Amino acid sequence: MNKIIKLSIFVCAIALSNFTHAQNYTWDKLKVFSAATHVRGAASDEELQALKWLKAEYQALGYKAEVQPFTFKAKGKTYKSNNLEVVLKGQSAKTIVVGAHYDGITGTGSKGFIDNASGAIALLGVAKQLRSKPLPYTVKLVHFWAEEIGIYGSEAYVNNKENDLNNVIGMINLDTIIGGDYLYIHSAESKAYLCKKIIQSNYSVNPQLREKLISLSKSLNLKDGYKVHPQNNSYKEGQTGSWSDHYPFACKGIPVAYLESTNFFINGKDGYDGVTIHQPRIDFWNKW
Ligand SMILES: [Zn+2]
């Protein structure tokens, strides 16, 4: 297990280090993606635009990105939608899923730049960094759609029999990884999530992935490292709710780690707490 955890940490460290230099590949792509696809509201034409854009970028890196169509019902209507998966074959079939939703939060604030173009484009950065590198384990980079209106993409992914989850030994969710004060890393809540929509659920609260990521970030001397989110009235220290794409994987018994810069409960560094991301702060967000 130790080697497996090391690989997942490696993947995440790369994702995060990509944002430390404003001019690098990932940062530039993040700006281009956001400008080209706007806010990417669920069930909008921008989904197909974003899907096409991402697919072409993976192709340019020499990967084949597989579109996985699914349907979901919301507000009495049925929608057709798509996840996108890129497989980086390793020496072992044992697999780490690194996922991020590519739809965006609409309305005010950063208009989808932070939540969640940041996570989606980090996956592209990981793909570039791992290109042609021998991997001991397989890595699946998965872009989920329709997270903001009900976490439909990742639910569809784990419920899809074609996606063999038996070999998945960990899932890392990147959602809103920039824009807050620090990067927090959560594990699933010790009180089991409601897993009603997940076929054959088998809840896991295993915090091992969170702990290893935190200890490795310290050893890498990342500028701010990862932090454990403080305890609050709703959640124990380091644990989080079911509001993002890690939840269906936890329901399937897979250890999860959720990376999020949002701090919903305290005023963060310089006053940029996570709540700001979803609220009007035109003075701040106009800079992007
Ligand atoms: Zn999000």
Rounded to an integer, the average pLDDT of 95-117 is 84
Give 115 Cα–ligand 1 centroid separation in angstroms: 5
Question: Rounded to two decimals, what is the model's pTM?
Answer: 0.89
Give 122 Cα–ligand 1 centroid separation in angstroms: 14
How confident is the model over 233-283, as pLDDT tens digits?
A: 888 999 999 999 999 999 999 999 999 887 666 555 555 555 555 544 444
Rounded to an integer, the average pLDDT of 54-69 is 97
Burial of 272 by CB count in 10 Å (0-12 exposed, 13-18 middle, 19+ buried)?
A: middle
CATH 3.40.630.10 fits 2-287, yes or no: yes
Give 287 Cα–ligand 1 centroid separation in angstroms: 21
Question: Which residues share a beta bridge with 173?
Answer: 99, 258
- pLDDT of 193 reads 96
Reply yes or no on whether the pLDDT at 203 is more than 70.
yes
d(CA 115, CA 104): 6
Residues with Cβ within 5 Å of ion ligand 1? Answer: 115-116, 175
How confident is the model over 134-176, as pLDDT tens digits?
A: 999 999 999 999 998 899 999 999 999 999 999 999 999 999 8
HSE (side-chain half, CA atoms, 13 Å) at 35: 7
- pLDDT of 264 reads 65
Domain ranges of the chain: 2-287
Give 61 Cα–ligand 1 centroid separation in angstroms: 26
